[in-house]
Amino acid sequence: MPLWQCLIQRSKWVIAVVLQACGFLAWLRRWRARRGEIPVLALHRVGGSPESRQPQAIPPQVLRQMIQALSQRYTICSWETCVRVARSRDPHPHIAITFDDGYLDNAEWAWPILREAGATGIFCVTTRFVDGVEPHWWDVIAAAYRPTQGPRFRLNRFGQATYGAIAEGKIHRLKTLPSEQLRQNVASLQVAAARDLTIERLPVAMSWAEARRMVEEGADFGGHGLTHAILTNCNDDELASELKDCRETLCRELGREITIFAYPNGDYDDRVVARTRHAGFRYAFSIERGYYTAAGDPLKIPRIMVSEPLYSLNGCNFSWPLFEAEVLGVFEVLLWRRLRRRA
């Protein structure tokens, strides 16, 4: 981690420890609950270790510490409960935890850790990915453009694990292309990579059998697109299919009404929101920062993205005061809002 990032993290940690010691964080937690503001955390994968981190993944031991610390101060609840307590402004703090994409590690690690703590989670899955029908497109890119030398994953200037500059650049560019072009790019790359045998075994998805077991055990499920296309880049037919087919598959496979959706990459516009409603989803998560409230638009629910700098001082150890100060938006209030007002 670069020096400036270390200094920022350390300053935040000192502020968080002081605010915790004087009881401010506990007060702020209850204050947000009384205002009906529910934090919704957004996680993706569980894997790696504090020493060798993977992109978008939280190491299992760190997740366990995080969930245990959260469950001592919050009720980690189902989406139905979140909606109810936000409406009633229950003074007891509640929090929701979402996992996007549908990787197998959600079933193998995240769900058992949540259950151990008597908690539940919301799993938003890309339906074509489940059962390994097709890989997530960025996994194909990451495998094809993996660094030829040195470690497979690299840290960026914010201390976050990445697939390396070339793969990340390509993924970033593909996210801006019309959906059909993205598909063609990935398909041709997949053929070339398979021929050269440069493609490695891609990450594994959860199965419908696992998803059904989790539902029986109390997990919530939601949609995350049919192919994880960027919805704002889809034409009307593609958009309808990404939403409608995703929801129909989920309802059929899980044997229940599915009303929750998470926009792939957090991207939406007015057309996407209208089509999401039309497809039968009642709630949709973005990745804009904020809290769920009963008064907010249920199809533009903000979340708090959980990545290394949010919970760790040095990328290795979990720090509860730092994490809670971030979840409660202490640094946003202190700095960001002021800067935004000036901008």
**Contacting positions for Zn ion (CB under 5 A):** 100-101, 264
CB of residue 298 to Zn ion, shortest distance in Å = 20
**C-alpha 230: how far from its chain's center?**
15
Taking the complex as a whole, how short is the minimal distance between the CB of residue 206 and Zn ion, in angstroms?
A: 14
Which is nearer to Zn ion, 103 or 318 (by Cβ)?
103
Q: How far is the CB of 228 from Zn ion (least distance, A)?
A: 6
**CB closer to Zn ion out of 55 and 264:** 264
CA 323 – CA 81 distance, rounded (Å): 23
Cβ closest to Zn ion, residue 70 vs residue 125 = 125
Q: Which two tokens stand for residue 229?
A: 């296309």
Residue 100 structure tokens: 């996007």
Measure the CA–CA gap between 64 and 119, rounded to whole angstroms.
Answer: 12
Nearer to Zn ion, 268 or 320 (CB): 268
Which pair of tokens denotes residue 169? 């650049």
Q: How far is the CB of 129 from Zn ion (least distance, A)?
A: 9
In the three-class reduction of DSSP (H, G, I as helix; E, B as strand; rest coil), residue 263 is classed as: coil
- Min. distance of Cβ 146 from Zn ion in angstroms? 20
Nearer to Zn ion, 199 or 230 (CB): 230
Residues 6+ apart with CB under 8 A from 294: 36, 83, 86, 87
Nearer residue to Zn ion within complex by CB, 29 or 136: 136
Cα separations (Å) of 257 from 15, 47, 79, 130? Answer: 44, 30, 13, 18
**In the complex, minimum distance from the CB of residue 172 to Zn ion, in angstroms, rounded to a whole number:** 14
DSSP structural state of residue 317: S
Per the structure block, which two tokens stand in for 69? 């610390």
Closer of 94 and 170 to Zn ion (Cβ) = 170
Q: What's the CA gap between 304 and 306, in Å, rounded?
A: 6
CB of 124 to Zn ion, least distance (A): 8
Torsion of CA 91, 93, 40, 301, to 10 degrees: 0
Question: What residue type is assigned to position 321 of the chain?
Answer: P
C-beta of 217: minimal distance to Zn ion in Å?
Answer: 23
How near is the Cβ of 283 to Zn ion at its closest, in Å?
Answer: 16
Number of residue whose CB is nearest Zn ion: 100
62-83 burial, b at 16+ Cβ within 10 Å, e below that, comes to: bbbbbbebbbeebbbbbbebbb
Measured from the CB atom, is 68 or 241 closer to Zn ion? Answer: 241
Q: In sequence order, what E strands does the chain have? A: 40-43, 45-46, 57-58, 75-76, 94-101, 122-125, 154-155, 161-162, 220-223, 260-262, 283-285, 304-305
Which has the closest alpha carbon to 253: 125, 136, 137? 125
Residue nearer to Zn ion on the CB measure, 203 or 264: 264
Q: How far apart, in whole angstroms, are the C-alpha atoms of residue 267 and residue 70? A: 28
